[in-house]
Amino acid sequence: MPNPTASMLVIGDEILSGRTRDANMHYLAGRLTEAGIDLREVRVVSDDAPAIVAAVKALAAAHDHVFTSGGIGPTHDDITADCIARAFDDHIDIRADARDLLAAHYAASGREFNAARQRMARIPDRATLIDNPVSVAPGFTLENVHVMAGVPSVFKAMVESVLPGLTGGAPLLSQSVRIDRGEGDIAGPLAKLAEDHDNLSFGSYPFIENGAYGANIVIRGTDAAQIDAAVHALETLFAETP
Amino acid sequence: MPNPTASMLVIGDEILSGRTRDANMHYLAGRLTEAGIDLREVRVVSDDAPAIVAAVKALAAAHDHVFTSGGIGPTHDDITADCIARAFDDHIDIRADARDLLAAHYAASGREFNAARQRMARIPDRATLIDNPVSVAPGFTLENVHVMAGVPSVFKAMVESVLPGLTGGAPLLSQSVRIDRGEGDIAGPLAKLAEDHDNLSFGSYPFIENGAYGANIVIRGTDAAQIDAAVHALETLFAETP
């Protein structure tokens, strides 16, 4: 059975303006690979309701799971929850379960549970809450979309809240072999090797280091022994053709 | 006149598997902001021809410019050039101008200009070449799509080759104000301030530092004096409500 598929939607002007470098994509990608869920696509859109709604609809229809990051805080530019509700034609308002969590948290910390903070309790009717052990304000899952915060520490905590409930496939394993030659020298034999191992994938990721060309060849698959054999074949191949 | 719009397509399994953290998105975002071109969307797809073709078509139809990164090297997994040709129904083969550039380069460096390296001269008929001062193998522009390498040093060099030929708009200016309070405390007055300055955009980017909440408020627009005034108003607002 093929692994479940996933996509990610990063919501935030700050990434598109170059002000902030996204950190959540890299974290999610690594965790999904370990869980045997294939991340097929990532989109980054701005804090713009039509763009968010259109992207959520397209990704939810195309993949088993969608993970979103960003736009669920208390400020005026936090519009993700309302956009998700709109994408799935669900009703959204301050919901008692989320409000109770937040009210208890602010009562305990002596801070005012004001109108802005109550916005963080806006949850679509049909959604289930995602636990936030870092800062309490919950994410939520609606249909196949998991809606999470953009602050990296909170995003990570929410991913760890969601993942145990998902059915993964065989973890995608990989090994990397560094070859200190230009890709042009290795491309021919490498293509032949990839053809001979058609249930593994061979990626070639070139680099330039101190003016010299090289490439990391990454062999991926779900069978550790097959990958070991391919790594051995690769190393032998380029040891023999200096 | 509104600024021209752009999107980016990052092509590469290595980003989606979590092996590599993308660097090119952040660089392009910053340079486009400086050039007055609004980056509206980024997509990351795997080395999969149907996914690349579909994304290129969608992005090219939606924005004034599309910038792609990755998949134009000599190895079997480098399929971007062929996918771009397919997206625009153009013919593609080894093209004399690109071949001559590469042949001269490899002759000068004493390396073989083999079949794999000749693949890097596959350029669609209607494309114009993008200069690559780092490693010679050119990128290309076909219609409104600028096709560039994934290796960060080469990507950067190609961006600098392309940008002077594009018509930008007013550079998007921004100033950032750090406020050491939770977003929930500042959200109300901030929303009011944003309403009062409706030709500027106010983004609130929360953080947690040593267990304390804060937010960077970023004010963006094209008029430096207006931004200065808004920064002053913001600082006054939160100085007065301790």
Q: What is the pLDDT of residues B87-141, one digit of tens each?
A: 999 999 999 999 999 999 999 989 999 999 999 999 999 999 999 999 999 999 9
Q: Report the pLDDT averaged over residues B40-56.
A: 97
Find, in chain B, the residue whose alpha carbon is nearest to that of A31.
Answer: B18
CB contact under 8 A, A41 and B17: no
Higher local confidence (pLDDT), B23 or A66? A66
Give B194 to chain A, closest Cα distance, Å. Answer: 9
**What is the length of chain A?**
242
Is it the case that residue A86 has pLDDT exceeding 70? yes
Find, in chain B, the residue whose alpha carbon is nearest to that of A113.
Answer: B184
Rounded percentage of chain A residues whose pLDDT exceeds 70: 99
Find, in chain B, the residue whose alpha carbon is nearest to that of A206.
Answer: B151
Structural domains for chain B? 5-165 (3.40.980.10), 173-240 (3.30.70)
Give me chain B's average pLDDT, please: 94
Give the count of beta carbons closer than 10 Å to the beta carbon of residue B194: 21
User: Of the candidates B156, B214, B70, B16, which has an alpha carbon nearest to the alpha carbon of residue A37?
Assistant: B16
Burial class (CB in 10 A: 0-12, 13-18, 19+), B54: middle
Instruction: Let me know the angle formed at the C-alpha of A235 by A231 and A236, rounded to the nearest 5 degrees.
Output: 115
Give the count of beta carbons closer than 10 Å to the beta carbon of residue B178: 10
Rounded Cα gap, residues A124 and A134, in angstroms? 22
CB contact under 8 A, B76 and A190: yes
Coil, strand or helix at A87: helix
Q: How far apart are the first and last CA of chain B?
A: 41
CB contact under 8 A, B205 and A153: no
Is it the case that residue A241 has pLDDT exceeding 50? no
Rounded percentage of chain B residues whose pLDDT exceeds 70: 99
Q: Report the pLDDT averaged over residues A88-116.
A: 96
Q: Report the pLDDT averaged over residues B26-43.
A: 95
Is it the case that residue B241 has pLDDT exceeding 50? no
Rounded Cα gap, residues A103 and A111, in angstroms? 10
Is it the case that residue B217 has pLDDT exceeding 60? yes
CB contact under 8 A, B51 and A41: yes
- Phi and psi at B124, nearest 5°, equal -60, 150
- pLDDT band for A240, please (50, 70, 90 cuts): low
Coil, strand or helix at B240: helix
CB contact under 8 A, B184 and A33: no
Note the pLDDT of residue B240: 53
Rounded Cα gap, residues A78 and A11, in angstroms? 10
Find, in chain A, the residue whose alpha carbon is nearest to that of B149.
Answer: A206
Size of interface A-B (CB pairs under 8 A): 213
Laid out side by side, the sheet with B173-179 consists of B173-179, B212-221, B201-209
**What is the length of chain B?**
242
Partners of B153 on chain A (C-beta within 8 Å) are 208
- Of the residues B27, B158, B205, the best mutation for testing chain A's interface (the one with the most A CB atoms within 10 Å of its CB) is B205
- Model's pTM, two decimal places? 0.92
Note the pLDDT of residue A242: 44
CB contact under 8 A, B41 and A39: no
Give B183 to chain A, closest Cα distance, Å. Answer: 6
Give one DSSP letter per residue of B51-108, joined into a string: HHHHHHHHHHHHSSEEEEES--SSSTT--HHHHHHHHTT--EEE-HHHHHHHHHHHHH
Residue A81 tokens read as: 């929850």
Q: Strand pairing partners for A219?
A: A175, A202
B16, B28, B174 ranked by CB distance to A40: nearest: B16
**Residues B44 and B10 sit within 8 Å (Cβ to Cβ):** yes
**Residues A209 and B80 sit within 8 Å (Cβ to Cβ):** no
Burial class (CB in 10 A: 0-12, 13-18, 19+), A133: exposed
